[in-house]
Amino acid sequence: MAAKEKKNAFYAQSGGVTAVINASACGVIETARANRDRIGKVYAGRNGIIGALTEDLIDTSKESAAAIALLRSTPSGAFGSCRYKLKSLEANKREYERLIEVFRAHGIGYFFYNGGGDSADTCFKVSQLSQTMGYPIQAIHVPKTVDNDLPITDCCPGFGSVAKYVAVSALEASFDVRSMAKTSTKVFVLEVMGRHAGWIAAAGGLIEDEGIPVVVLFPEVEFDEKKFLARVEALVKKHGFCTVVVSEGCHHPDGTFLAEQGTKDAFGHAQLGGAAPVVANMVKQGLGYKFHWAVADYLQRAARHIASKTDAKQAYEVGAAAVKLALKGHNAVMPTVERVSDAPYKYRIGVAPLDKVANTEKFMPRNFITADGFGITEACKRYLRPLIQGEDYPRYRNGMPVYATLKNVAVPKKLPTFEMQK
């Protein structure tokens, strides 16, 4: 056998992006560059795994060190993301064969996939290609999700920043309502992400420590309108105002989301989205209080300007750790954050087997939610507080943050076109 050739790496971003997923990309690419003797080029998939399937690879070696460094403070996915889950090998063998063709054509031996639960599943399937299809590959999953719902890891990069955004925004808006409550708005409703798990909504509960009366509505707790209105009324009577943080996944006992209350527009079309206006209108109808509501949507997960320093740091570290794990010969694993202590906050980067990560969601434990279902416990606060610690401001120019837009130069194609399955 000839002298061992350096293998190239494939990196892709998957699913909903975050304020710090590019920090993980930065960690992967900078660590690979620091190990040039063992890793060739890092090819990024344009729009996630689709870039691999369609041989649409980005040559990250064309980007300057400064451009890659700037990824650390740039929100969203610099190479494009996708919502696409590989089917099982049995159901769509053609896709796996194609992946191998692309990997072989471009000398790819490392597969770094940066995503949440669905992506962990895709990454796990790829990690099995050595066994199932005879192509030698090491696949490492880099954790990312604002939903904080991956198992084993103490937290998921992306979550700390959205938690900080939600806590800070809810606090600021609460100060606003408090100012206005005498003659105007008494209840402010903020809708946040989290279709299944209430971690993001929970972050809103942190404002209680700043003296704000707050009601949190979790997806983990069946919504009870009567109890909810009673709680709001009690808080407004006592404090003059209150803030409600509602998860988009908040639902009635029958499973229907609050946001799907049969609302129709003028043309009779079902009106999409918006748990906040539904909750706000309930408050108006039931209690007569003037309200305001906001839906943060993408603003919350893109808000790099108020990212958590802890989160940005961990996002970088799991990217760097993924490359180091690969160099140590690992396959089918995911770097994790292992908490050592709450206060002072200490953690180390650990590792989890991917088959234990894929397709498992981590919900809020019951002891993180108060007995009445409307707030977070001290145990939850102890968990959350370290994750929003520290500010990590981007650089600004002319009043605007300086975020990286990469050149994203395509790697010349070597294979025939591949038709994606619809």
Binding region:
16, 145-147, 193-195, 248, 298-301
DSSP-derived 3-state class of residue 308: strand
- Establish if 188 lies at the interface with a copy of itself (CB under 8 A): yes
Report how far residue 33's alpha carbon sits from residue 38's, in angstroms, rounded to the nearest whole number. Answer: 9
Residue 184 interacts with a copy of itself (CB under 8 A)?
yes
Task: Rank residues 398 and 417 by Cβ distance to a copy of itself and give the closer one.
Answer: 398
User: Which of 47, 73, 331, 336: binder of a copy of itself (CB under 8 A)?
Assistant: 47
Q: Which two tokens stand for residue 338?
A: 């292992």
Is position 265 an interface residue for a copy of itself (rule: CB under 8 A)? yes
Residue of 162, 156, 127, 122 lying closest to 361 (CA atoms): 156
Give the integer Cα–Cα distance in Å for 205 and 171: 10
| Shortest CB 208 distance to a copy of itself, Å | 12
Between the CA of residue 363 and those of 118, 219, 255, what are the distances in Å?
16, 9, 16
| Of 29, 171, 200, 216, the one binding a copy of itself by CB under 8 A | 171
Which residue ranges are tagged as binding site for diphosphate?
A: 16
Does residue 122 belong to the site contacting a copy of itself (CB under 8 A)?
no
Would you call 299 helix, strand, or coil by DSSP? helix
Q: Which of 232, 280, 323, 351 binds a copy of itself (CB under 8 A)?
A: 280
Note if 154 is an active site residue: no
DSSP codes, 1-43: -PSPPPEEEEEEE-SS--SSHHHHHHHHHHHHHTTTTTEEEEE
Phi, psi of 198 (to 5 degrees): -95, 20
Question: Is 91 one of the binding residues for a copy of itself (CB under 8 A)?
Answer: no
Catalytic residue among 147, 149, 311, 392: 147
Indicate the burial class of 396 (C-beta count within 10 angstroms; 0-12, 13-18, 19 or more): exposed
DSSP class of 270? B
Residue 225 engages a copy of itself in binding (rule: CB under 8 A): no
Residue 422 binding a copy of itself, by CB under 8 A: no
Q: Single out the residue of 35, 61, 130, 281 in contact with a copy of itself (rule: CB under 8 A).
A: 281
Applying CB under 8 A, what is the total number of residues that bind a copy of itself? 88
Q: How far apart are CA 93 and CA 398, in angstroms?
A: 52
By rule CB under 8 A, what string of x and - marks binding of each residue 352-391 to a copy of itself? ---------------------------------x--xxxx
Candidates 31, 81, 145, 336: give the one binding a copy of itself (CB under 8 A).
81
E strand or H helix that includes residue 341: strand 333-341
Of 164 and 313, which has the nearer Cβ to a copy of itself?
Answer: 164
| Residue closer to a copy of itself, measured from CB, 250 or 332 | 250
Nearer to a copy of itself, 131 or 285 (CB): 285
